[in-house]
Amino acid sequence: MMYPRLFKRRPGRIPGFGLTMGITLTYLGLLVLIPLTGLIVKTSEMTFAEYWATVTEPRVMASFRLSIFGSLLSASINLVFGFIVAWVLVRYSFPGRKVVDALVDLPFAMPTAVSGIALTALLAGNGWLGRYLEPLGIRGAFSRFGVIVALTFIGLPFVVRTLQPALADLEPEIEEAAASLGAGRFTTVRRVIIPGVLPAALTGFALAFARAVGEYGSVVFISGNMPMKTEIAPLLIITKLEQYDYAGATAIALTLLGFSFVMLLIVNLLQVWSSSRAR
Amino acid sequence: MAGSTAMNFSGAGRRVTSPSTRDPAWVRWTLTIVALGFLALFLVLPLIVVFAEALREGMGAYLASFNDRDLLSAVKLTLIAAGVAVPLNVVFGLCAAWAITKFHFPGRALLITLIDLPFAVSPVVAGLIFVLVFGLQGWLGPWLLERDIKIIFAIPGIILVTMFITFPFVARELIPLMEEQGTEEEQAAMTLGAGGWTIFRRVTLPNVRWALLYGVILCNARAMGEFGAVSVVSGHIRGETNTLPLHVEILYNEYSFVAAFATATILTLLALVTLVLKSIVEHRVRSQMRRAAEESMA
């Protein structure tokens, strides 16, 4: 269905290509590409052994472990609850549904520093939620628990917003067919609905995961920033910078950057997969 | 990338009504309660707690927190950073969308990916790359020092990272819509003798105005709220290089909790206004997109 439009467009007839392309490339080059190259140049001043020594320091390794496993866990929590939220918002109607739907974007709209102090106030020992967690032996704030809560908060919209259109696009006829063939509701969900939205679910998961790994603002307040325990990788970059250890900061940053590119690649592949399934 | 797919859609499609595909009442009730409970816990409570903490010592203490010269300069700097970054990214977004959607050229897909790049980069890493270019130890550091130009730990650095972080917002709202709208209307205007600028102003701009506004809303919210990247390049000089989110951090770390949360209420209100505007404009963007899709089918 792409062909007709492709032929209708005649390149070069509309004016302004030179001007707009020139501005686009200049701006992109100056603001994004040259600074990013700076990072690569800085790293090339380091030998691989030096790079490796930095990123395998126990404190750095611990921060990577927390960033990656914490993000995986929070993205998984979001996958489960995000699916339920998206399902309820798409399939059911209840008073205030529109307001709830708009609210899902709050973690995007709220500055991360504000989310950070708000979550800390909630989960601290004397906070509204923290005081109920304490007797259960859970430290809400200044703990790994707090880090995971903050990462879950920040990732929620990604899962909900990628699942919503996928759930809305499911053909009701297929569900009806499954039901008329004798499938129970549970079987229909398991065999028809979940496979149908799997690419979207994985995309949302990957986006939430990628965002959580790089997240800084909402985590620094609640984590307490204890080395080896609750220190996330982005924070360690800032710590190294404050100690004027530019090489160390760069090594960690490059690792995070490489990680985000892999995630970007995975998300793009998932998109290709889901569009090839749609056809 | 991040923020992108997620921001583009919201709201439900058609509802399923056929009895065979309807969940039983107890399932509906349980799932609705679980979903609303989760959202209340994770979204509504943090929202309320900001105001509760700010008003903890009463209205008087809350209002007194705003009587702070450093707060005023933080507001000013935040407005400056957003005031520079948003218009520049609007110009860039319009140019990029025009070049990408009105013409065919090799490397188009690569260009779109490169525009999305700042979304994939951790804010802290974004700040760091500017330190590596403009900082004292950086690429241009010695050259800048000779000429007594300060970028890092000064206002230009804050503006630069804000521009970097919010770079893709406008372009990525415009590209899909302009792609769907095609070039027929512009071609028609050309046959009627209109020049490039006139076509853009009279045909293209009215066609994309809602998507443009949508991009501006998201871009502005992020520009005013950015924390991590700005924190790396700001140097935290009170009254000089502090934006509103950084001011919240400083007050909080000084244990001035009421003042910190009072400042946070300004940013929270900004977030709520953003959400309201966003849901109003989103509706119009979607209907514009649908119209374009129907026209290109016809």
Domains and CATH numbers, chain A: 17-46 (no CATH), 48-278 (1.10.3720.10)
Element (H, E) at A163: helix A144-169
CA distance B73 to B256: 18
Residues 88-147, chain B: which have Cβ within 8 Å of A? 88, 91-92, 94-96, 98-100, 102-105, 111, 113-118, 120-125, 128-133, 137-139
Give the closest residue to A18 by CA, choosing from A10, A26, A30: A26
Interchain contact, A250 vs B131, CB within 8 Å: no
B103-109's contacts with Cβ under 8 Å and 24+ in sequence apart are B103/A11, B103/A12, B103/A14, B103/A17, B103/A21, B104/A9, B104/A11, B105/A11, B105/A21
Question: Residue range A215-240: average pLDDT?
Answer: 93
* Closest alpha carbon within chain A to B118: A32
| Spans in chain B with pLDDT lower than 50 | 1-16
Residue B29 DSSP symbol: H
* Closest alpha carbon within chain A to B159: A31
Give the closest residue to A158 by CA, choosing from A234, A91, A78: A78
Chain A positions in Cβ-Cβ contact with residue B193 (cut-off 8 Å): none
Give the closest residue to B163 by CA, choosing from B193, B138, B126, B203: B126
pLDDT digits (tens, 9 = 90+) for B240-289: 899 999 999 999 999 999 999 999 999 999 999 999 999 999 989 988 88
The average confidence (pLDDT) of chain B is: 89
3-class state of residue B16 by DSSP: coil
Q: How many CB atoms lie within 10 A of CB A7?
A: 7
pLDDT reported for residue B139 = 82
CA distance B33 to A185: 19
Terminal CA-to-CA distance of chain B, rounded, Å?
32
CA distance A187 to A181: 11
* B50 to A129, B253, B261: CA distances (angstroms): 14, 16, 6
**Complex ipTM more than 0.90, yes or no:** no
Give the distance from residue A70's alpha carbon to the nearest chain B alpha carbon, in angstroms: 16
Residues 54-93, chain B: which have Cβ within 8 Å of A? 88, 91-92
Give the distance from residue B8's alpha carbon to the nearest chain A alpha carbon, in angstroms: 8
Query: How many cross-chain Cβ pairs, A to B, lie less than 8 Å apart?
Result: 355
pLDDT reported for residue A43 = 80
Give the distance from residue A33's alpha carbon to the nearest chain B alpha carbon, in angstroms: 9
What would you report as the CA-atom Rg of chain B, rounded to the nearest whole angstrom? 23
Give the distance from residue B70's alpha carbon to the nearest chain A alpha carbon, in angstroms: 18
pLDDT digits (tens, 9 = 90+) for B205-231: 999 999 999 999 999 999 999 999 999
